[in-house]
Chains A and B, each alone.
Chain A
Amino acid sequence: MADTTTASRSFVRRLLRQPGARWSVIAIALLVVVAVFGPSVLRHIQGYGPNDQLQIVQLKNAPPSWAHPFGTDRLGRDLLSRVVTGAQISLAISVVAVALSITVGTAYGLVSGYAGGWVDAVMMRILDGFLAIPRVLLLIALATMADRMPLWKLVLLIGGTGWFGVSRLIRAETIVLRRSTFIESAHALGASMTRTMWRHVLPNVLTPVIVFATLSVGNVILLESGLSYLGAGTKIPTASWGAIFNDGMGSAGDVWWVLLFPGLAILITVLAFNVLGDALRDVLDPRHLHASHTPQIAEAATSATPEKNG
């Protein structure tokens, strides 16, 4: 027990020694605080919410001022409170969606890699089919059919289309592990298949999953904002980061603040998660530094990095 604590403490220390990891942890912590408390605090101070239309005549597309530091959009809504509320919505969507896709992907990859044989072959061909569909297009198609989707359905859709890469990764790791001596000895000791998978294989494949999940959060934020920008994401007037553009901006150019502030919020958040993911990988999985000599491993390494828009 004492060993684990020391190990995890030294892990944290090694992580924080990574360049950039420190500020990304701080940035994410700040973001979480803003997302949790920001909207209610702002409402208390300002006296209006993110969807309240203020005086439409004076405050339509008003540039940043002391009363409205981020300006207002074309419907006369305060952008600061929309961006802050967006932090809550977008972060929540992406964290839950990533948790969902990691769980499904891990289970699928574990079963496929462990079963081997024709089960594995069939499961992998199905996965090839999923991987061939551009995720943005698939999500657009699904969102189109589910008109005026409640938030939980959007989360379900995003999470349900994000597990393909992770299951490939887990499968590759599982296949390597399955041949190892300690799994063989677990079998020899009479451990059942489920027990071996659950107690012995799973803990050993989790390391790359942590990295994948961290990088995925950033990617899903990008994806959700893109979908909402296209009008296939959160429904009006929900103030998710992408939707702020979609229904807050008439034409670009003269309303630079509507373009700038939500975009910067997305950029900073995604950047923080990407920096943290890179740092985690360097600390947890030094293998990737010299792993891509064969195409198979290169492929596994590629699926270890969630693709932007993918």
Chain B
Amino acid sequence: MRRRLAARLGQSIVVTFIVATISFFAIRAAPGDPFSYSAKPLSQSLREQLRRESGYDRPMAEQYLRYLRKIARGDLGYSFNKGEYVTTALAQALPRTLLLAGIALVLSFVIGIALGVTQATRAGWFDRMTSTVILIFYSVPDFWGAMIMLTIFASWWRLFPPGDIVTPVMHDYMPAWKAFADRVWHLILPVASLTLLSLAGIARYQRAAMLDVLPSDFIRTARAKGVSERGLVWRHAFRNALTPMVTILGLTLPAFLGGLVFIERVFTWPGIGSLAAEAIEGRDYDLVTGTVIVGAILVVFGNLLADLLHAAIDPRVRE
């Protein structure tokens, strides 16, 4: 187990290094550099000077080495539009993203798995109807789904705030319990949107995984031994259908983060996704690279976590 952990950790570090390399070359391959599109008006000579100072006139190999050294030191560059270091901006945004994404990820997995299992065990109209609804949710563009939620619940019915993380200004003057309630109130709509839009894919997988396991011989044996249908589904079939789901948890993370970008944008949730979207508008070069790298690191370590979880629930993996 410990050896496996060490091997996976080493692999994660290699993958992170490859990600950094890919983002360096992919972005260098795109035309232009940060100083040709900066939102701020700069004179030609100032652009040249900035280019020289940041080393963009050096040979590619040298730039690459310098870039790796910087990343290894934890320096992701400087955001010209925000006027602060990229790591500062990211450190501020990351906990907010983790809060939103963490709750939504857990909720969408719990609800999605429960839904998938129920579908698989109840063939007939229930399965057909929920499958259709799930496929519709699966086909909804995330930003559009979020905008519909926003329009209905924040604009028309005014049940929830139209975005942001807390009530601006007033939040600082609220008593503790009210400040907490304010936070929750702002969380509900984005969490609900992200959950609704992500659970469809998970339910589809879980349903397929259950349908896979249910016809197995060991299920028939258990039924013959007199295990109740309930025990059959949850204790025997479900546990076996859960292992592929853990692998899927790791594999869906990049897509989940992708959806998060749209949700954050629509609800003006000041996390990594909003930062990335903001960076597009401002053509903020270092900030964009920084969010890509942090996003990839989240995925890599999420995968590592999924792998450990996999070992925890499946004795066959533990050797």
Contact = CB atoms under 8 A, between A and B. Distances in A.
Interface string A124-151: 0110111111111110111111110000
Dominant secondary structure of chain B at its interface with chain A: helix
A302 B243 CA distance: 13
B255 A309 contact: yes
B296 A133 contact: yes
B254 A231 contact: no
* Size bracket, chain A contacts: 35 or more
Given A225-B141, A308-B255, A146 B276 contact: no
A274 B138 contact: yes
A229 B262 contact: yes
Interface residues of B, number: 74
Interface in A276-310: 278, 288-293, 295, 298-299, 301-303, 307-310
B208 to A, nearest CB: 7
A129 B276 contact: no
A227 B38 CA distance: 20
A140 B280 contact: yes
A280 B292 CA distance: 35
B258 A310 contact: yes
B152 to A, nearest CB: 9
A146 B251 CA distance: 29
A37 interface: no
A222 B303 CA distance: 25
A231 B147 contact: no
B139 A270 contact: yes
Dominant secondary structure of chain A at its interface with chain B: helix
Most buried by A among B14, B141, B201, B300: B141
A301 to B, nearest CB: 8
A193 interface: no
Given A133-B295, A137-B292, A229-B143, A275 B135 contact: yes
B258 A274 contact: no
Nearest to B303: A132
Contacts of A308: 138, 142, 201, 255, 259
A226 interface: yes
A295 B317 contact: yes
A295 B295 contact: no
Nearest to A143: B280
B236 to A, nearest CB: 14
A117 interface: no
A129 B289 contact: no
A133 B139 contact: no
B258 A292 contact: no
B155 interface: yes
Interface stretch (A94-102, A179-187, A198-206, A251-259): A251-259
A274 B135 contact: yes
Contacts of B265: 230
A230 B247 contact: no
A146 B283 CA distance: 10
Interface of A: 125-126, 128-138, 140-147, 218, 222, 225-226, 229-232, 242, 245, 252-254, 256, 259, 263, 266-267, 270-271, 274-275, 278, 288-293, 295, 298-299, 301-303, 307-310
Interface of B: 11, 14-16, 18-19, 21-23, 26-27, 30-32, 36-37, 135-136, 138-144, 147-148, 150-151, 155-156, 201, 205, 208-209, 211-213, 215, 240, 243-244, 247-248, 251-252, 254-259, 261-262, 265, 276-277, 279-281, 283-285, 288-289, 291-292, 295-296, 299-300, 303, 310, 317
13 contacts: A128-B15, A136-B257, A137-B296, A138-B23, A140-B277, A142-B26, A245-B147, A253-B151, A263-B148, A267-B140, A271-B136, A298-B243, A307-B201
Given A146-B32, A230-B261, 5 more contacts: A222-B141, A254-B155, A270-B139, A298-B248, A308-B255
